[in-house]
């Protein structure tokens, strides 16, 4: 339930399978399965002869990469992006990864490599502060501090509301709002530092991962950006389900 709005926004902006969308683990891709022609089969998920609980390339052309282990999506997406550039086939490449999986060695290697290459790839950090076991390590603590700063979210909305009155085009409004937000965020939180920007990424966030309209607007602006981009999306696992 935590990735319903995120999945809708992704499939609204990017044209899969022409654009490649790589999910990290199966459970965050259930809405993706529903949106890509498997709704009628969904009751069979994780049953013999039914839908796989993971992404499975043999199951659908929309499942760009299959893996049962967390932490693989960023490296896979970077590989797809490099292959695209070598072949000149076009299309965008997007990877979705959770905050706990982001601490995996393979994921960090992909961030390091993408920043070095300047690859045009989009990483969506689905930050729900959840994992099978407790999240530990410096990066987890850094994300927790960033997640707790509402100024970085509310400032974007204030800037956008202000710029709406200036009669600018949609793209100009988003770009100006992002510039204001990032500049103020750096002033408001000098101790944190723009970690991902130092690694060569354009960093946007954190943003509300349950506000579909905002994500669509930001993703549309991100789609036109060159080089590596990381969008930090904050979600709630089991959103809307009381017992979750």
| Strands 20-23 and 93-98, bridge-based pairing | parallel
Whether 111 and 217 share a structural domain: yes
Query: Does 118 fall in a domain?
Result: yes
Strand partners, 183: none
Same domain, 229 and 199: yes
39, 57: one domain: yes
H or E, element range at 77:
helix 73-87
Sheet arrangement for strand 229-234: 20-23, 93-98, 122-127, 229-234, 202-208
43/139 same-domain check: yes
Residue 185: predicted pLDDT = 46
Distance, CA of 89 to CA of 198 (rounded, Å): 30
Look at residue 240 and tell me if it is in a domain. Answer: no
Model pLDDT, residue 224:
85
* Domain-embedded: residue 21: yes
Residue from 45, 34, 40, 38 nearest 11 by CA: 34
Grouped pLDDT means (10 residues each) for the chain, 244 residues: 89 96 84 90 90 84 83 94 95 92 90 94 86 52 53 49 54 57 47 70 87 90 91 79 58
47 and 166 share one domain: no
Considering the domain architecture, whether residues 105 and 215 belong to the same structural domain is answered as: yes
**Residue 242 included in any domain:** no
On whether the CB atoms of residues 202 and 225 are closer than 8 A, the answer is yes
For residue 179, what are the domain limits? 151-191
Q: Does residue 50 share a domain with residue 127?
A: yes
**Res 177: pLDDT:** 56
The single-letter DSSP state of residue 81 is H
- For residue 99, what pLDDT is reported? 85
Are 207 and 231 in contact by the 8 Å Cβ rule? The answer is yes
User: What does the pLDDT read at residue 73?
Assistant: 92
Q: Are residues 132 and 176 in the same domain?
A: no
Alpha-carbon distance of 242 to 238, in angstroms, equals 8
In a shared domain, residues 187 and 199: no
Q: Looking at the domain assignment, is residue 244 inside a domain?
A: no
Q: According to the model, what pLDDT value does residue 146 have?
A: 56
Quick one: pLDDT at residue 240?
60
């Amino acid at each position: 339930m935590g990735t319903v709005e995120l999945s809708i926004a992704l499939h609204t902006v990017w044209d899969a399978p022409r654009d490649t969308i790589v999910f990290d683990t199966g459970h965050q891709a259930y809405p993706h399965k529903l949106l890509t022609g498997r709704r009628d089969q969904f009751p069979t998920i994780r049953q013999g002869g039914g839908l796989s609980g993971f992404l499975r390339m043999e199951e659908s052309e929309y499942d760009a990469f299959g893996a049962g282990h967390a932490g693989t999506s960023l490296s896979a997406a970077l590989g797809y992006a490099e292959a695209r550039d070598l072949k000149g086939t076009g299309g965008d490449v997007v990877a979705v990864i959770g905050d706990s999986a982001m601490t995996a060695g393979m994921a960090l290697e992909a961030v390091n490599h993408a920043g070095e290459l300047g690859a045009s790839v989009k990483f969506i950090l689905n930050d729900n502060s959840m994992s099978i076991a407790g999240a530990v390590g410096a990066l987890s603590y850094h994300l927790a501090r960033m997640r707790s700063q509402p100024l970085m979210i509310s400032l974007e909305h204030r800037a956008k509301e202000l710029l709406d009155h200036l009669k600018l085009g949609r793209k100009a409004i988003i770009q100006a709002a992002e510039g204001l937000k990032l500049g103020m965020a750096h002033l408001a939180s000098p101790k944190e530092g723009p970690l991902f920007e130092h690694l060569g990424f354009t960093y946007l966030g954190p943003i509300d991962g349950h506000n579909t309209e905002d994500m669509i607007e930001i993703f549309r602006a991100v789609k036109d950006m060159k080089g590596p981009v990381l969008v930090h999306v904050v979600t709630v696992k089991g959103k809307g389900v009381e017992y979750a």
